[in-house]
Structure 1
Amino acid sequence: MKNSSIRDSKSKRWLTLIIVSFTMLMGYFVADVMSPLKSMIETQLSWNSEEYGLFSSAYGWLNFFFGMLILGGIALDKFGIRLTGTASAVLMVIGAIIKYTAISHLHHGDSLLFGIDSQVLIAGIGYAISCVGVETFGITASKVVVKWFQGKELALALALQVAVARIGTMLALSASVPVAKAFGTVTAPLSVAVITLLAGLVMFLYYCVLDKQFDKAESLANNNEEEESFKLSDLVTLANNKMFWLICFLCLTFYSAVFPFLKYATDLMVQKFGVNEDFAGMIPSLLPFSTLFFTPIFGTFIDRKGKAATIMIIGSVLLLGIHLLFSIPALDSSIIAIVLMIGMGLSFSLVPSAMWPSLAKITPQRQLGSAYAIIFWIQNGGLTLVPYYIGYLLRNYCESEVNGQIVYDYTYPMQTFSLIAAFAVIIAFALKWEDKRKHYGLEEPNYKPD
């Protein structure tokens, strides 16, 4: 007779999804809260585009260059969800406080640290610390979902977790400018971010109680047999898996063509499409908003019908087409911008809803934390270098003065994003070929009925 599992309780597994998704939502809000404020930051704080790009690149300073994300994944597999998740949430709060303090209490131009304006650098350090928390909590949340939904509605649950987290990005893009203008300072949205993060930390502490119940119940159901634990040699196993590396580099190229784009999307709406600054953030916010509708649909489809590898190809091709259209100077209608942002939301629903369940198929659960960590670490390389490069391009090749006002031509940056998306398309085709050759089952359904 088959032993009952606590994950068979629909109410409990969906409650855990709500909790970790809420905390992740708060993390994404903090990560993107300054994205739509570029022009206000340049006006109020006297930053230039290159300094803004440097600050935005701080997302990966610690995660990528110091390998903190790799260490976080190993800690997750070694020490478990409760300790790693709590530590990650605390880091998000600490980093957000440092960033807020730098922006609100230091002044641009007062001093330099390592040749960089001290306000920019310290704000970047705070951002980097909070992003260690965001990324490590992201892999923790993914492992939570796999833990509770393995053999159930896994693709749907992972898709919903991503979609709900994206609400944080949507709120950051749509609300940051109105909040900043209402209070007359760019620090106002940052203070909101700190408060919301504290709420996310409290929610995760409640999840820890449920997680402890899960472990106790599973131990009893399995007659106190211990699951095989993570070993450092498991990293060698991952390194020898070609499909794992294809997913890594698809993640790198696809996300590098989306997240850094969002850092500049609000300014793009103002500079190219002539949208009023007060409302410009609303158009990019359509991307995460549309994922709320599209992602559950594709997650359910993959659970029931499969075709994950094919869906990753479709999403990558769609992203390439959208960036190419954004790069055409003559297409400058705000209606076109709205349609393209919704299309990008469709693309951003297709690929993640297929990619993350695929990783769970090719990786044993004891290695999942490390697998997610390596993928996110490589992804952070793109999230670090691409925003800085776009800022460099804008300041040195795309900046001009019209009627005494600095304006930017986004043609070169959008061509850069198109090139990155083209690499994603190539890798997506290679991934499907490898699945066909090695029979990983990415085209097969995930769902096993209760």
Structure 2
Amino acid sequence: MTEQLRRKLSDLPVVRWTALLIVAFTMMMGYYITYQMSPLESLLESPVASGGMNWTSTEYGFFSGSYGFINVFLLMLFFGGLILDKMGVRFTGILACTLMVAGVLMMYYAVTFITPDAATHVNLPLLGLPDMMLKRQVIYSALGFAVFGVGNEMCGITVSKVMVKWFTGHEMALAMGIQVGLARLGTGAAMSVSLPLALRHSLSAPLLLSFVLISAALLFYIVYCVMDRRLEKSAPATVQQGTDDDESFRFSDILVTIKSPGFWLVTLLCLLFYSAMNPFFNFAPKLMIVKYGISESLAGLIPAIIPFGSIVLTPLFGTIYDRRGFGATLIIIGTLLMAVVHFVFSLPLHSSLLAVSMMVILGLAFSLVPSALWPSVPKIIPLRRLGTAYGMIFFIQNIGLMAVRMLIGRVNETDPSYTRSMTIFALFGAAAFISALLLYATDKRKKYGLQKPNIQE
């Protein structure tokens, strides 16, 4: 659509907020599944006689890192961005949701029907597994998680472009904040629900629930596709004919994107920030048990403070960005808080009250950065290149997520006190803070407008 038509349709609040809620529900289910296994680490590593699967810390780290295997080694996120810009949000979103359903089914099959006693020799030095035996159950679970990861990340870039499509010139940061907040609701629900469900029934029960939820997400996205198609058909033919020159993707746009210093700073910031946050969720429940003496039944609830708090705070900070600006400033504050919290977690302090307090502050950081970071990308990259830009950002981000998860799994096996692993997270936080300062300086020089409000009067 041309800018004129998009503004005409997006001026209807019911249309743009309905579109947002539908696609946000899809992402919420994706985030639920991403973190559903995090509270189960201790149970997975328990003996089979105790209801566990006898996994090792290395195997759990391998499984957690497998989320990004296909995205990284087969460049699927990069190609996903190209598919999005060439085929549009309807085709790409349906493809993404279908892959998520398939991945969950593979994980359910592995945990339910493959015995944890069977093992296979592997030699994967690139994945930190040189010449060792690995459980087949872990391998198949990792394959399913990798397929799911392709779909979930592809869905993420698609939803981002949907929101830019409908909220440019309007409450974009608020819209993205609400979407992020609902995604964090999925994360918090997984941290709170998965372990009690597994303890009451079996380890396969959380995965069965995930299959039901992600199937519902697919149906919701189909509803959005019907709405999106009807909106396009309602456009005058003369307006529709003018879309190609304005917004069609050209492969030469890739070169323009990678020449942008703002693009690379945002990409670096995403890599560092999410490498310090998302893998932390995978290991945080066990950290609460080992270092702070939290009971296993409550260990997932303490880290859940972070996503549940962001449900309210992310839209709040997004509204500030929409109406007052200061996007780069919000990012700087958030990265600084994150670095401080991870540093405190690395210290030999064992107070459960301290742990809860740090989680609250970390939740503040987890709301500040995304509320300003993602709405800033369209200020740097125009719409026709946005899918490819998001794909490249998510691709590089997935390299970090994969590598850090596997690294932390191996580090925890040699240092179960979590001192070394939390020091690693603190270093990522410090580097993210420095990147945020560089982004602020670059914005002043290039005049991207990151400090200006998003709402155009």
Range of TM-score over shorter length: over 0.9
Specify the SS of the correspondent of 2:329: helix
> Aligned residue for 2:18?
15
Q: Distance between the aligned counterparts of 1:392 and 1:111, measured in 2? A: 19
Q: Distance between the aligned counterparts of 1:64 and 1:71, measured in 2? A: 11
1:419 aligns with 2:422: no
Contact (CA 8 Å) 2:182, 2:311: kept in 1 or not? yes
Out of 152, 164, 170, the residue aligned to residue 134 of structure 1 is 152
> Aligned residue for 1:225?
242
Instruction: Please list the CA deviations of residues 311-359 of structure 1 after superposition, one character each: whole Å capped at 9, or x if unmatched.
Output: 11110001001101111112x2222111111111110111111111110
Note the residue ranges of structure 2 that are not aligned, 5 or more in a row. Answer: 47-51, 123-132
Instruction: Please list the CA deviations of residues 181-234 of structure 1 after superposition, one character each: whole Å capped at 9, or x if unmatched.
Output: 111x21111110011000000000000011112323445583631243101111
Q: How does 1:50-61 map to 2 (within 5 A)?
A: 50-61=58-69
Q: Distance between the aligned counterparts of 1:272 and 1:216, measured in 2? A: 58
Q: Distance between the aligned counterparts of 1:223 and 1:73, measured in 2? A: 23
Structure 1 residues 219 and 250: alpha-carbon distance in aligned structure 2, compared to 1, 3 A threshold: farther
Specify the SS of the correspondent of 1:257: helix
Contact (CA 8 Å) 2:176, 2:315: kept in 1 or not? no
> Aligned residue for 2:358?
340
> Aligned residue for 1:389?
407
> Aligned residue for 1:236?
255
Q: How does 1:311-330 map to 2 (within 5 A)?
A: 311-330=330-349
TM-score by length of 1: 0.95
Contact (CA 8 Å) 1:287, 1:342: kept in 2 or not? yes
Contact (CA 8 Å) 1:6, 1:218: kept in 2 or not? no
Instruction: Please list the CA deviations of residues 350-400 of structure 1 after superposition, one character each: whole Å capped at 9, or x if unmatched.
Output: 11111111101111101111111100101101110001101111112x1xx
Give 1:113 deviation, angstroms. Answer: 5.3
Q: How does 1:136-155 map to 2 (within 5 A)?
A: 136-155=154-173
> Aligned residue for 2:70?
62
What one-letter code is carried by the residue in structure 2 that aligns with 1:199? A
Out of 96, 104, 108, the residue aligned to residue 104 of structure 2 is 96
Q: Distance between the aligned counterparts of 2:98 and 2:439, measured in 1? A: 37
Q: Distance between the aligned counterparts of 1:10 and 1:166, measured in 2? A: 24
Out of 305, 308, 315, the residue aligned to residue 286 of structure 1 is 305
Note the residue ranges of structure 1 that are not aligned, 5 or more in a row. Answer: 399-407
Give 1:66 deviation, angstroms. Answer: 1.2
TM-score by length of 2: 0.93
Q: Distance between the aligned counterparts of 2:247 and 2:236, measured in 1? A: 13
1:216 aligns with 2:233: yes
Contact (CA 8 Å) 2:286, 2:299: kept in 1 or not? yes
Contact (CA 8 Å) 2:61, 2:405: kept in 1 or not? yes
Out of 111, 134, 143, the residue aligned to residue 125 of structure 1 is 143
Give 1:111 deviation, angstroms. Answer: 3.0
Specify the SS of the correspondent of 1:409: coil
Q: How does 1:149-168 map to 2 (within 5 A)?
A: 149-168=167-186
Q: Distance between the aligned counterparts of 2:235 and 2:252, measured in 1? A: 26
Q: Distance between the aligned counterparts of 2:188 and 2:218, measured in 1? A: 20
> Aligned residue for 1:298?
317
Structure 1 residues 107 and 147: alpha-carbon distance in aligned structure 2, compared to 1, 3 A threshold: same
What one-letter code is carried by the residue in structure 2 that aligns with 1:79? M
Q: Distance between the aligned counterparts of 1:412 and 1:220, measured in 2? A: 61
Q: Distance between the aligned counterparts of 1:221 and 1:204, measured in 2? A: 29
Instruction: Please list the CA deviations of residues 397-448 of structure 1 after superposition, one character each: whole Å capped at 9, or x if unmatched.
Output: x1xxxxxxxxx20111100100111110111000101111111111111102
1:192 aligns with 2:200: no
Contact (CA 8 Å) 1:5, 1:217: kept in 2 or not? no
1:29 aligns with 2:29: no
Instruction: Please list the CA deviations of residues 42-99 of structure 1 after superposition, one character each: whole Å capped at 9, or x if unmatched.
Output: 1110100000000000011011121111111110000000000000000000000001
Contact (CA 8 Å) 1:113, 1:121: kept in 2 or not? no
Q: Distance between the aligned counterparts of 1:292 and 1:412, measured in 2? A: 31
Number of positions where the alignment pairs a residue of Structure 1 with one of Structure 2: 436
1:361 aligns with 2:379: yes
> Aligned residue for 1:42?
45
> Aligned residue for 2:287?
268
> Aligned residue for 1:410?
418
Q: Distance between the aligned counterparts of 1:446 and 1:127, measured in 2? A: 36
Out of 179, 186, 192, the residue aligned to residue 197 of structure 2 is 179
Instruction: Please list the CA deviations of residues 149-176 of structure 1 after superposition, one character each: whole Å capped at 9, or x if unmatched.
Output: 1111011101111111111110110111
Q: Distance between the aligned counterparts of 2:169 and 2:424, measured in 1? A: 40
Contact (CA 8 Å) 1:5, 1:221: kept in 2 or not? no
| Structure 1 residue ranges, 4+ long, deviating more than 4 angstroms after superposition | 218-221
Q: Distance between the aligned counterparts of 1:217 and 1:324, measured in 2? A: 55
Q: Distance between the aligned counterparts of 1:228 and 1:41, measured in 2? A: 49
Contact (CA 8 Å) 1:219, 1:225: kept in 2 or not? no
Q: Distance between the aligned counterparts of 1:147 and 1:216, measured in 2? A: 16
Q: Distance between the aligned counterparts of 1:278 and 1:322, measured in 2? A: 24
Mean alpha-carbon deviation: is it higher for 265-274 or for 208-217? 208-217
Specify the SS of the correspondent of 2:292: coil
> Aligned residue for 2:130?
none
> Aligned residue for 2:125?
none
Q: Distance between the aligned counterparts of 2:405 and 2:146, measured in 1? A: 14
1:87 aligns with 2:79: no
